[in-house]
Structure formats: C-alpha cells, structure tokens
Chain A
Amino acid sequence: MSVLTITTDNFREAVIDASKEKPVLIDFWASWCGPCRMLSPVVDQIAEEQDSVIVGKVNVDEQPELAAAFDVQSIPTLVLIKNGEVADVSVGVRPKPAILKMING
C-alpha cells in the first residue's frame, strides 16, 4: 500500500479513524534529517510488503502541531496507533525487523 502524507487536516480521518480498522504507523521526519530520509525506503518497503498496517508520514517542519502533540523531540520517531491510541513509540533509527516486530507484535 502506498504511504500517506499526514497533516492536521487529514489526521482524524487517516490516523484516528483508520486505526480502528488497522494499526497506523506514523513516521515523523524532516527533509534536512539524513537518518529520516534514509529510513524512508525502509518504511516504504514495509508499506509495500505489509497489508496489516497503514503507513503515514508526518513532516515535522510542516506539521509542528502534530510533532508537539506526540512529544516528538528527536527524529526519526515512529509511532504506532491502534484503535485511536498510541500503542508504541520508537525513537531513532531502528532496523526493519524491529519495526516489523513493533507492528506485528
């Protein structure tokens, strides 16, 4: 599945509401952050391979309110939302198997 761009406009629908059907993995990133840029292909690959999760990205420069709402202090940060609530948070770059484990438990 393709990766969604999450903004304050679509947050309720694309994340909160959608997470009641399927977990949503949000990747907080910024264009100047090298590790974030290079985590992107990993997250893209997960989005392609895993039907069990919806993957979205939040650009923290463009969406400071969302970054603040999730208390994101370091990027990349991955947040897993299940049933409208934060189920897990992972700060920093993580290996793909660890991200898959976060999603699939």
Chain B
Amino acid sequence: MTEYDILVVGGGTAGMTAGIYGARAGKKVLVLEELICGGQIVNAAEVENYPGIPSVSGADFSAALFDQASNAGAEFDFQSVDAIRKEADHFLVDTPSGPIAARAVILATGAKNRPLGVDREDTFTGRGVSYCATCDGAFYRGKTVAVVGGGNTALDDALVLSELAAKVYLIHRRDEFRGEKSTLELAETKENVTVLRSSAVTALQGEKKLAGITVKDLKTGSEQEIPVDGLFIAVGQMPQNDRFSDLIELENGYIRAGEDCRTSCPGIFAAGDCRTKTVRQLATAAGDGAVAALAALEYLQKK
C-alpha cells in the first residue's frame, strides 16, 4: 500500500493550501476531495478581499489554486472519506475503494450548503432549485425567482438576481435579517424586489421543473402560492465531521482546534471552516492551510 506523508481530507482553499505547503516541503501529499475542489469560494462571483489580489472570480481563484497545488506536486483524488483509524505509527483513511495509509492527516472538510428541507428539493435541484445565484442567476434573466434565507448570502443573492430577473422575492422566516443592514436596505430600494418576512417556503410545485412555491405566513398561518421559475436557497452552512468523532473532539459539529490547527489527536490537524474559530474567511482558510501543513511537517520530523 502506498503510504502518504500527509493526507488532506477536503480540497477547498485550506486543503489545497496545505497541499502546496506539504508538496513544496518535498512530502508525498494526497488531497482527497469527494466532489469538486475549491470549496465554497468556487461560487463567489467576485473576491475582493484576498490580500494581493484586488479582484478575482471564485472560479479563477479556485482553478489557479488547484493548478498551483498540482504543479507543486500534490496528488488529487476524487472520492469520499468514511472514517479515519489510528494504527501504531500511521493512520488509515477509509474510502469506498479501500484504506489509504498516511503518517499525518489534515482535515479541511469545510462546511456545506444547508438544504432547506422542503419536499422534492433534491428532485428540483438544477431544475429550478439552486444554491448559487452567481452560478445559475444568468439562467433566470427576465424570469421570476425567490431567495430564501436571512444572512449575507441571501441578501447578496437577492441583489445579484435583481439585476437579472424580472422579479425577486426575498423570503425569510424571521422579522429581522442577520445580514448586513446596508445590503438589506439596498435590496429594498430595488423596485423588483419584494421582501417577505416571517415567511417560510413549505412546498414546491411543478412537474419536471420548478413552477412555483407555497409560502406560509408564520404569523397568520395563511399560505399563498407564488409562481416562480427559480428558487435560490441560502440558509447557511453546516460542518460534516461526525464521521471522525471517535478519534477527535468536536464542538457543535466543528473540530475542536486552536489557531495552531492541532486537534485532540496528535498527527491529525484541522484547517479552515471545519474547525472551531470565529472568523471564516478566504484569507484565514489559506492561513490555516499553511499553519496545519507546517504543524504536520513538524510532527513528521519529530516522530
């Protein structure tokens, strides 16, 4: 069995940065990604807060990061990780195609889009239901869409869509929005944006494609059907680390680790949005990737 020096679980910004640092240090590094590399930034229309790069699209940023890590020598494989087992002097990372041995592991599992949890959400995904206004917004030019959520992503989505769609409903289950007040105010000035507070999407209509949504007023209990071509779901993210809970400590689903990226298990490090932290930004994900990789290198050296 091939043994890797460092196995990185997750190919987002943190994971790929760890890949760059590990590979540049001459280590045999494998990045395992279950879907596509890039993580959440993949869907960003424009990134303007990454130091040294005044403006870049999430698409260009992720593609460049992938190329950079590959060219540095990091290997990539696209499959999921079921569990990690600790052996005497290495770890076994279980995948559907068998275990992979690694001397150190960096968990960079990020966080994923939280589904709304409404019936037939899966069926309509890509057929009217989307989690990414910047990706799919252009398909709804001149059409009617709804955005669900109360955070910055939902507000940004509503703004992006107001430039493309004929009509945008912004639906939030509470009265108050969590997102930036200024963004909300800007959205409210748009003539084609209607904000529905204390409201929830309770059902999806349509045959093969989404044709409408049922919106329930949570104060009065009354329901109305709104014909829409697109529904953009922006109700937050969730971590996905439960499969590692027998080996490392979690806190509300996030991996318990400080700024040094060390977990409760020596040899396993956590980088990026998957660990307990207060700031979850692109720059801090990259920072974590570097810190975790350097900590893993130090661990390998001392072993």
Contact = CB atoms under 8 A, between A and B. Distances in A.
Interface of A: 31-42, 45, 73-75, 77, 91-97
A34 B13 CA distance: 13
Nearest to A61: B138
Interface stretch (B124-132, B188-196, B259-267): B124-132
Interface of B: 34-38, 41-44, 57-60, 62-63, 66, 70, 76, 78-80, 96, 125-127, 130, 132, 134-136, 139, 209
The list of the 8 closest CB pairs from A to B, nearest first, reads A91-B126, A34-B42, A96-B78, A34-B59, A38-B36, A92-B126, A38-B38, A37-B59
Nearest to B34: A95
Contacts of B44: 34
B66 A41 contact: yes
A32 B42 CA distance: 10
Contacts of A39: 36
Contact of B43 (A35, A42, A77): A35
Contacts of B42: 34-35, 37-38
Given A73-B127, A73-B139, A74-B136, 13 more contacts: A32-B59, A34-B42, A34-B135, A35-B132, A37-B60, A38-B42, A41-B66, A74-B130, A74-B139, A92-B125, A93-B35, A94-B35, A97-B96
A45 B80 CA distance: 16
A72 to B, nearest CB: 9
Contacts of A77: 126
Contacts of B136: 74
A80 B194 CA distance: 41
Given A34-B38, A35-B132, A45 B59 contact: no
B239 to A, nearest CB: 19
A31 B127 CA distance: 21
Given A74-B127, A97-B96, A33 B78 contact: no
B144 to A, nearest CB: 15
A59 to B, nearest CB: 13
A38 B63 contact: yes
- The listed residue with most B CB atoms (<10 A of its CB), out of A31, A36, A95, is A95
B199 to A, nearest CB: 26
Contacts of A95: 34-35, 78-80
A86 B101 CA distance: 41
A42 B63 CA distance: 12
